[in-house]
């Protein structure tokens, strides 16, 4: 079977590398300015063939290059995990200011958390006027929660009261959000001393 990405696989990889390099540059610049690395880690991936085809089917789209590259916007995915909330927004602003990048959509699941407690700032961007990418920016706490929730979601043999587990997960997400806010306040206090 031909790749759903057609002849674009290499270009998608190159675009991903360009984005990661730019994020590294932003990170180095912010580190030099403040003496503190704002990023805990970054991840980048091209959505696998199987996962892209599955997403097309789920959305009722034909399994074509146009669906994968134009209708669906996360063939390229980048995750930036930051130490502090402020860093999430500063990196967002710096990315938005890049001349080769256009922010097509912003989904702020930090200000408006998903009902299950999921928090993250998602940017749908278009790079070089050509390829779309989804950039997820979040704090370490948000990332830890999302990893755990993802793990539980795909665990097929969950025993116990699902409603209780869902409620507890939501409570943890809210507590972590409150901790993030406190950590940011502590950082601001240290900086103004
Ligand atoms: P992967 O493998 O992480 O890339 P859709 O993309 O159709 O699922 P939508 O509304 O277009 O939905 O995108 P949304 O919900 O803004 O963001 C989708 C991605 O955000 C997901 O990618 C996850 O990475 C992450 N995400 C969104 N909601 C949750 C959540 O409740 N829990 C966790 N752990 N992650 C979430 P995919 O598609 O799952 O695949």
CA distance 138 to 85: 8
> What's the average model confidence in pLDDT over 88-97?
98
pLDDT of residue 141: 97
pLDDT of 41 higher than 90: yes
| Centroid of ligand 1 to alpha carbon of 132 (angstroms) | 16
- Distances, alpha carbon 65 to alpha carbons 9, 58, 78, 89, 167, in Å: 11, 16, 21, 33, 40
74 ligand 1 Cβ < 6 A: yes
pLDDT of 136 higher than 90: yes
Return the SS3 of 108.
Answer: strand
Tell if the pTM clears 0.75, that is, is over it. Answer: yes
pLDDT of 155 higher than 80: no
pLDDT of 118 higher than 70: yes
Least confident of 60-69, 131-140, 146-155: 146-155
Indicate which residue's Cα is closest to atom 1 of ligand 1.
47
pLDDT of 157 higher than 90: no
150 ligand 1 Cβ < 6 A: yes
CA distance 69 to 45: 15
**Residues 108/48, Cβ–Cβ less than 8 Å:** no
pLDDT of residue 156: 67
């Amino acid at each position: 079977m031909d790749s759903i990405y057609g002849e674009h696989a290499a270009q998608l990889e190159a675009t991903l590398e360009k984005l990661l390099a730019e994020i590294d540059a932003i990170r180095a610049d912010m580190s030099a300015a403040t003496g503190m690395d704002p990023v805990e880690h970054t991840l980048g991936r091209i959505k696998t063939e199987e996962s892209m085809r599955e997403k097309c089917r789920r959305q009722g789209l034909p399994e074509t290059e146009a669906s994968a590259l134009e209708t669906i916007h996360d063939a390229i995915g980048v995750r930036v995990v930051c130490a502090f909330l402020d860093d999430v927004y500063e990196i967002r602003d710096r990315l938005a200011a890049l001349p080769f990048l256009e922010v097509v959509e912003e989904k702020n699941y930090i200000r408006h958390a998903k009902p299950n407690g999921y928090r993250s700032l998602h940017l749908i961007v278009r790079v070089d006027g050509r390829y779309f990418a989804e950039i997820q920016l979040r704090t370490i706490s948000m990332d830890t929660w999302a990893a755990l929730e993802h793990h539980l979601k795909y665990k097929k043999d969950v025993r116990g009261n699902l409603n209780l587990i869902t409620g507890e997960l939501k409570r943890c997400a809210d507590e972590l959000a409150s901790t993030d806010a406190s950590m940011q306040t502590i950082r601001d206090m240290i900086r103004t001393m």
